[in-house]
Amino acid sequence: MNALINRLRQMPRELFLFAIASLVLGMAYSMMDSTLNNFLNETFTLDSFQRSFLEFPRELPGFLVVFVSAALWFLCSRRLGVFALGLAAAGAALVGFFSVSYGVMVIWLFIYSMGQHLFMPLATTIGMELAHEGKTGQRLGQLNALRNLATIMGSFIVFLGFRFLGFTFQHTFALAAIGLTIAAVLMFLMQPEKNLVRKPYLQLHKEYTLFYILSVLYGTRKQLFITFAPWVLVTVFKQPTSIMATLMTVGGVIGILFQPFLGRMVDRLGERTVLAAEAVALVLVCLGYGFSTTLFSENAALAIVIVCYLLDQMLMSVSMARSTYMKKTAVHPTHVQPALTAGLTIDHIFSIGAALLGGYLWNTFGFQAVFIFGACIAVVNFFFAMQVRLPAPGAKTAQS
């Protein structure tokens, strides 16, 4: 404990503030994530297609984020983070207390999601800015591990609340809004970057074509985990809110150890190896989701799907390898945040389509078809991951 306290005291002020903000907002996100599916199911009684269609307004901000970021170019990364977290806090409160109808709830969810998606590339950009040279993956891994700790704390609060304290959905949404507000204040206390220049948000560069392709594949794959993996547990296996919160907790515990390890592997083995290994693992995960109920007993199938869910949750963190690849191949430092933001927009174009296609496949052919589709995406992802190459030291030339 003394060693931890001493380490916190030695931490640079900006990193300390960002780390605490990451912890608090991670708790808030965890409370929202472990509650939302059950809230939708119990409040609006959606069928599988309606649930997948809801991903359109929920994921639309991911498409719009590059345009919103461009409109707010005059805000530096840290001040834009304050705006994003404030927007997410307002959305969380509105979802919890003013969802008087399905249509109104969609509007509030859009606001929350807009703030959440605005902050996603900022979290990575700021994290890489606070890293030592050559240890970018390690820093992102450490910050992701901190967010996993936050996931444990947030989901544990939900578990205790629903199991013992008589929580309603409004309690968790209110706590999430408070946490996001605190994170926004901490971001505001960080020193803004100096020498702000207009960044090329609305430009795509041919040098980053492979990064954009990887973003397409990640967006498609990501949606299977966000939408259909928990929906399998909630609707096929009838798992309650407390169990979903428990899985978030277990995944967080695993992630505390896995995230720093993954960051070190990115720095040590390189992005290509890590991304290719992720693709292979995803094929196995998708097969587990899709065929466990066919090949095994109900209890064994549930155990396999839970393992797949936890592994899937861990593999989502491999996105850090895409970010470090982008940073290492950037021909100018000002390209990094706009390229990450553009990648987010691109991946959401395809994630929205994947959600709608997934809902159609589920309703028409059964949930197994969704994960066969996912396995095919993972195979394609493997072949593109093998194309990743880093420039030789000194090979990049600074361009504006």
Q: What pTM value is reported for the model?
A: 0.73
What's the CATH code of the domain at 364?
1.20.1250.20
pLDDT at position 400 over 50: no
Give the pLDDT score at 206: 83
pLDDT digits (tens, 9 = 90+) for 191-239: 887 655 556 566 777 888 898 899 888 888 887 777 788 888 887 787 7
SS3 109: helix
- Let me know if residue 195 belongs to a domain: no
Q: Which domain holds residue 270?
A: 9-190+202-385
- Return the higher-pLDDT residue of 55 and 188: 188
The band of 392, judged by pLDDT with boundaries at 50, 70 and 90, is: low
- Summarize the confidence of residues 265-276 as an average pLDDT: 89
Rounded mean pLDDT of the chain?
A: 83
Give the pLDDT score at 398: 41
- Let me know if residue 97 belongs to a domain: yes
Give the pLDDT score at 351: 78
Phi, psi (deg, nearest 5) at residue 132 = -75, 155
- Let me know if residue 396 belongs to a domain: no
- Let me know if residue 392 belongs to a domain: no
The band of 93, judged by pLDDT with boundaries at 50, 70 and 90, is: very high
Closest by alpha carbon to 147, among 167, 119, 173?
119
Quote the CA–CA distance of 153 and 158 in Å, as a whole number: 9
Residue 230: burial class (beta carbons within 10 Å; 0-12, 13-18, 19+): buried
- Let me know if residue 1 belongs to a domain: no
Q: What is the total count of domains within the chain?
A: 1
Q: State how far the alpha carbon of 27 is from the alpha carbons of 23, 74, 103, 252, 355, in Å.
A: 6, 29, 27, 11, 26
- Let me know if residue 280 belongs to a domain: yes
- Let me know if residue 196 belongs to a domain: no
pLDDT digits (tens, 9 = 90+) for 279-334: 999 999 999 988 888 888 888 888 898 999 999 888 888 888 888 888 888 877 77
Give the pLDDT score at 3: 55
- Let me know if residue 372 belongs to a domain: yes
